[in-house]
Amino acid sequence: MPATRNGCKTIVCVALMVLLGACSPADKPATPAPETAKQTPPATPAVTRGTELPSFVNLVKQQGPAVVNISATRQGSSIPMRQGDPMYEFFRRFGGTPDMGETPAQSLGSGFIISQDGYILTNAHVIDETDEVTVKLTDKRQFKAKVIGADVYTDVALIKIDASALPVVKIGDPAKIEPGEWVAAIGAPFGFENSVTVGVVSAKGRLLPSGSYVPFLQTDVAVNPGNSGGPLFSTAGDVVGINSQIYSQTGGYMGIAFAIPIDIAMDISKQLRETGKVTRGRIGVQLQELTIDLAKSLGLKEAQGALIAAVQRGGPADKAGIKPGDVVVSLNGQPVQTIADLARLVGGTKPGTAASAEVLRDGKSTNVKITPDALEK
């Protein structure tokens, strides 16, 4: 089932304590109970009696005004008259079928303000190939937006409206959020502006078969068409991600949604703001995820790192001495646990800048210097 671009139940366990008493006959003295070994107290349950669910009222009041509704219009193509139309045969015989003109197509999405002077983050697919982008604020003001740039690789776009003193969101750290934590999304599903949905983080570092290597945050927050580009908030009121895709067989919400970590999005927005485009590094390798069996065969104790499956001849990795079968475990001091980590770190390295990589080869660690070149689109 493909991921499509564009809830949560809490079981409270109540412990019931049952007091058991024993009575002895009135004419016999009570027999003292034998001494028993001290028992280890039971572990504290994950959800205790009296636990309250989080309230998102203050979060919505404080951060909601910084969430915007985006409508993008693109010019459509002409629609020919189809067979079966009552007038089709008439026009076919007398002068051919008429031109029905062009019908503009419109897409709806969400976004959020990251600067008081009007810079807004959203998804690239919300504003891709559009002729006009309109931003509507919670106070009903509308602005025509300028597209600063978009990065299809990560599905991040930066737009700007001509305004000042705007409310802005607080940027959080997705590395600090854990599976099971509550999160909230604010957006415009199906055009219903400023809708709030809540759920939990289901997993971190999810890789989708789109080839982007973005380590998505997976949630069970209800996300539908129109939520795309909207913010994902932690309970502290910080943005930790941009709602981007859903996993669905129907095109609607089915309990699995994916958000782009906000740190990745902010790095992309910085490049878009400075140059209008994103430049990525590449080292010319094909990567393979490590399994336990592969790790053992390579003499490794654990399946962590990015396995080099193939090396491009004459590429940066080849020049640095990287070989198939090497396992990269860190780049510039940053740990590499999966192929997504390496792809992200290499992509974030400025082309022409030397990077230090720790590589495991034949069970031994070695350091190499790699100078990525530019990734051609």
Task: Return the active site residues.
Answer: 125, 155, 228
d(CA 274, CA 377): 19
List for the chain the helix, strand, coil content (%; round to 5). 15, 35, 50
Whose tokens are 């949560």? That residue is 8
Residues 6+ apart with CB under 8 A from 372: 281, 282, 283, 316, 346, 349, 350, 351, 352, 353, 355
Q: What are 70's two structure tokens?
A: 């985006």
d(CA 120, CA 242): 12
Residues forming beta bridges with residue 136, ordered by sequence position: 69, 142
258-280 burial: b if 16+ Cβ within 10 Å, else e? bbbbbbbbebbbebbeeeeebeb
d(CA 77, CA 119): 31
d(CA 290, CA 234): 32
The pairing of beta strand 238-247 with beta strand 170-171 = parallel
**Measured between alpha carbons, how far is residue 322 from residues 16, 64, 121, 312 in Å?**
62, 49, 38, 10
